Amino acid sequence: MAALERIQDHGLLRFLTCGSVDDGKSTLIGRLLYDTRTILTDTLAQIERTSQRRGLSAVDLSLLTDGLSAEREQGITIDVAYRYFSTGTRKYIIADAPGHEQYTRNMVTAASTADLAILLVDARKGLSVQTRRHAAVCHLLGIRHLVVAVNKMDLVEHDRAVFERIRADFQDFAAGLGLSDTTHDVTFVPMSALNGDMVVDRGEALAWYEGPTLLELLETAPGAHGDAAAKAEQFRFPIQWVCRPQASDNPELHDYRGFCGRIESGTVQVGDRILALPAWIETKVKAIHIGGQPLTSAVADQSVTLLLEDEIDLSRGDMLVKAGSTASAANGDGAVPEVTKQLEAMVCWFAETPLDRSRKYTIRHTTRSTRAAVGEIAYKLDVNTLEQQGAEKLAMNDIARVSFRLAQPVFCDSYAKNRATGAFVIIDEATFDTVGAGMVV
């Protein structure tokens, strides 16, 4: 751990673990929590008692994340389990995604907010169908940092040749998927989550491996809004609420009109020229408040209130962006999002009820909700082979390219450019269930 003390604080990192059933995802997370000493004493005592009742000689660390009784009974992950921990130099949010194909929708949910994915591979089995499937989903969901963790090396006698063969197999697959270009990085780590080798500590069994441990990779991985990424991001501020205080006894608040919301990307400073959509009116930022306190600037992921110099009619669902010419929007340089009533998107269908092209749905994009009609289903994607297949309907867990016609315009970027303004969810108007998720292409 001494090496970690020399690493600077890199803020929050969201990552998920994925891979096939029994590749050791839950055990890996348990090992991370255990070796970083972030497990509460009573929680550890509880899983120790459970492990003893089952006749196990060691603590079953997978019990830390398999929270549902059905998961513990079957020894599998069904729902997405989120865990939080900190090393003192960085905070983490972990999503433990299910391995079964029937829970692909849960895996999509976990991947949608992840900055990095740990793809586990059983060293005895090599690449499986689920390995390829989950790598394809991670690529589709825009995750640019992938760690291939070759687990259970203790069961192949820590053989370096096994690790090298799996690495070569994955690199061949990644080249076809597009993961080998300059916008993605793929790192390989041999490990034993059960014994703790190369997870937090190096151990002694994999001395031939000279690269970083898994935790060292996580500590230095770039976050979604790291310094370099933030400089390249365009400012996007969907308005969530218009704040008009009604305190009649405070004359300073009579004219207060603030626009509240979360900065989805980019930065903003007092004095910046702002373009309000859909009014297409320019103004300037007069003040920035957070928790009632003034700021001179704010960054992505902060929830703030912006006060503007001019009175503009704006409401929930509208968006503030940095001012640019309308010509720049037409040029598609990304300074201004596309304002459109037509969406082309890759959709993952969550519901047991198939997508019905004759029905209307509600699309929720950032803070705006609008009715939508399904246009065409261009194709359904086989994520195992990446083959495009014709389809008239979508069943649960299907991923397809679908077009929508909207009742109101949305202000969107492509998902590849901006995951916040390039994503939306589809809601059943009758049940209010979320039945699908979309990524704008």
In 3-state terms, what secondary structure has residue 108?
A: helix
Contact 156, 124 (CB under 8 A): yes
Interacting residues of 247 by C-beta distance below 8 A, sequence separation 6+ = 253
237 and 354 co-located in one domain:
no
Which structural domain, as residue segments, surrounds residue 166?
12-224
Predicted pLDDT of residue 161: 97
63 and 121 co-located in one domain:
yes
Summarised one tens digit per residue, pLDDT across range 418-431 is 999 999 999 999 99
In a domain, 22, yes or no: yes
In a domain, 272, yes or no: yes
Mean pLDDT: which of 38-52, 123-137, 169-183, 326-340 is highest?
123-137
352 and 241 co-located in one domain:
no
User: Number of folded domains in the chain?
Assistant: 3
64 and 206 co-located in one domain:
yes
Predicted pLDDT of residue 432: 93
Q: Answer with the one of 182, 200, 224 that is the final residue of a domain.
A: 224
Residue 71 sits in a domain whose CATH number is 3.40.50.300
* CA angle (178, 130, 381) in 5-degree steps: 55
Predicted pLDDT of residue 331: 45
Burial pattern 43-78, b for ≥16 Cβ within 10 A else e, equals ebeebeeebeeeeeeebbbbbbbbbeeebeeeebbb
Summarised one tens digit per residue, pLDDT across range 88-118 is 889 999 888 776 666 777 888 888 889 999 9
136 and 200 co-located in one domain:
yes
344 and 289 co-located in one domain:
no
Residue 54 has phi, psi (to 5 degrees) of: -85, 0
CA 430 to chain CA centroid, Å, is 28
357 and 268 co-located in one domain:
no
